[in-house]
Amino acid sequence: MNMRLIVIASALAVLLPTALHAQEKRSGKGLAEIPDPELNLMRGRYTVGGNNVAWFGVTMASQWQASSGAAMEGALKLGMDFRQGGTPKVSFTPTVSVTAADAPLPQAAADTASAAIASVDSSGLANVSGLVQSVQVAGDENSARNVTSLTIRDGEVPAVADSGVRSATAQQGGASATASFDNNQARLELQLEGVGAVQQWIRSGSVGQTIALGGNAQQVSNRLQIELVRQSMASNTPLTQNIAQAMALTRGIGPGQ
């Protein structure tokens, strides 16, 4: 795992539990001794300094061009604005589309032996946390790509309006595209009956991209972009206040949350 991926995993460990459990945080007033069990859960996930995260944004896009000519696309934008403190302001915009072709969509192989050869199993990935990227292909002349990028910058927070919609689905025949934000996770999924599925997600402690194909001549891609915008703090802010804020952000973050 390279440095970029480590930074992505660290950012998720801090920001997602903070945003999703903000109502459980206690207000920090000065410094107080932290008990050993709580110290055991802190693993250097912040750096005390002169800036704070003002914006955490995620953009996902998935595309699938089937051998039949059918096309599926899905995208979502998730933003968390931390400038007001406390519970972040969340914005979410999903977009999905399915274009059917004149030719029928591929169906599952009738022959049991052939179906066994052209099958994949991604069930084990449900037990993996952190950053996940997976490509499973059983077939010929397929193209599959996962791309993840992280941008950290100082400056203005993007002006993004909340769509007011938390899920969108498009379906034609055996092809479907779904983008949703529910139960504290954002997910994008494309499916083609009898062929496979393409997924992307982000949730507390995990971000992932998976491609599972059991057909031929399929062209699919996943692209995930994470953006952190830092906001400089006033130069006269006491160091003790910075430390108290960092400790408040870290409370409750640990394995299994």
pLDDT for res 107: 44
Mean per-residue pLDDT, 116-130: 63
Higher-confidence residue of 169 and 44: namely: 169
Given the DSSP bridges, would you call strands 143-154 and 130-137 parallel, antiparallel or unpaired? unpaired
Question: Does residue 151 surpass a pLDDT of 90?
Answer: yes
Alpha carbon distance 88, 25 (integer Å) = 13
Task: Reply yes or no on whether the pLDDT at 176 is more than 90.
Answer: yes
The confidence score (pLDDT) of residue 12 equals 55
The answer for residues whose C-beta is within 8 angstroms of residue 113's C-beta and 6 or more apart is none
Q: What is the DSSP letter of 152?
A: E
Q: How confident is the model at residue 32 (pLDDT cuts 50, 70, 90)?
A: confident
DSSP H or E segment with residue 20: helix 3-20
CA 255 to CA 146: how far, in whole Å? 26
- Domain ranges for the chain: 52-230
- In sequence order, what are the residues at sequence separation of 6 or more whose Cβ sits closer than 8 angstroms to the Cβ of residue 89? 80, 81
* Closest to 72 measured CA to CA, from 179, 232, 180: 179
pTM of the model: 0.68
Cα distance between residue 162 and residue 204, in whole Å: 21
Residue 167 has pLDDT above 50, yes or no: yes
Over residues 220-249, mean pLDDT = 71
Give the least confident one: 1-5, 28-32, 36-40, 212-216.
Answer: 1-5
Mean pLDDT of 65-94: 92
- How many other CB atoms sit within 10 Å of the CB of residue 89? 15
Q: Are 56 and 231 in contact (CB under 8 A)?
A: no
Residues with Cβ within 8 Å of residue 164, at least 6 apart in sequence: none
Beta bridge partners of 71: 65, 99
